[in-house]
Amino acid sequence: MKISEKVPLAPLTTLRIGGPARYLIEVASESELTEALTFAHDKNLPIFILGGGSNVLVSDQGFDGLVIQPKFTGISVHIEDTFSNDVASAVIVVAGAGEVLDDVISKTVDMGLWGLENMSFVPGTVGGAIIQNAGCYGQEIGEVVEGVHVYDRKQDEFDLLSHEQCHFTYRHSVFNTSARDRYIILSVNLRLSKEGTPDIKYKDLQNFFGDRVPSQKELREAVIEIRKSKGQDPREYWTAGSFFSNFKLSKSEFDNLCSKIKQEFGSEKASELRDLVNKIIAPSDQDKIKVPAAWILDQLLRLKGTSVGGAMLSKLQVLNVLNTGHATATDCVTLFHKVRNIVRAKTGLILVTEPEFVGML
């Protein structure tokens, strides 16, 4: 097992920001993982698990501990009665945590398996997607998780967590909330279906297809094309993906928001928001009303292009914070606070970030 020292982390993230890791170890097996954890324990080092680097903002000072990069790979297909009651149409795809999420989606679509196609081109690895309950255009990965193979650092054992034990909600799971830092994900069992219909209820997809019902492959291709048109291709733009979470409000909170928007921006804008949320059905947190942060930041507040130093809200997709070439982590954090203060002053809403901040207090 190779232990590297003072490894620059910026090239390992899609934002291309961050100082060095004191140590970095790639692990591809259970034995290598336990060796890495023993190394960290012996040196009393904090640990950070770094997947595809698409949902993190690393401190300019880096991370003074051990960064572990899981390289658990492999994709296999199983049809077993024990996995699902609906054995006639259910297929279990087992994917390693280190697999690129879009590679897995591409293969499942090629096999005609439904359940992930709307998440096409979401960056990062499978493990990172599970932690965040990543989602796009009406699908969340937590919906199709049958079980997650983990190493339990508290119990010092390998285990399989059921879907229920993962506690998936909007952009959250047990892995980034109540049991943060307890589990290291090795692989996941995804329950997909051999039968399905395209989900095109989101406006972008409706505009793309009109009255035509696409095939699964056409739907995937459309999602990729739309995401690229919004600057969400990490090969062209340095971004961590969506930097801001959508708002989840109770009915009374939503009514208060609409009243405030009517007072500040006029009744037409308040009606526009009501019409918009009536068309959105979120896979998780069904008791809440989903208010798109993009609508608040762009359609209401016109904040595209707002910048601090080398960090800027994308002019193509306002939810993306771009590294225009020389941004620092400090620039990104300062920009976030600037935007959050504007949103709070104008709407009363509290903006929340999606990426995990690494090496920061």
Name the residues annotated as catalytic.
Answer: 171, 242, 354
Q: Which residues of 4-35 are buried (b: 16+ CB within 10 A; e: fewer)?
A: eeebebbebbbbbbbbbbbbbbbbeeeebbee
Strand partners, 8: 20
Give SS3 for 153: coil
SS3 content of the chain, % helix, strand, coil (to 5): 35, 25, 40
Distance set, CA 178 to CA 48, 122, 144, 284, 361 (Å)? 17, 25, 21, 18, 19
How many Å apart are CA 110 and CA 90, to the nearest integer? 16
Q: Tell me the angle at which helices 251-265 and 267-278 cross, rounded to the nearest 10 degrees.
A: 150
How many Å apart are CA 253 and CA 138, to the nearest integer? 23
How many Å apart are CA 251 and CA 105, to the nearest integer? 35
DSSP of 159-183:
EEEEHHHH--BTTB-GGGTTTTTTE
DSSP category for residue 54:
S
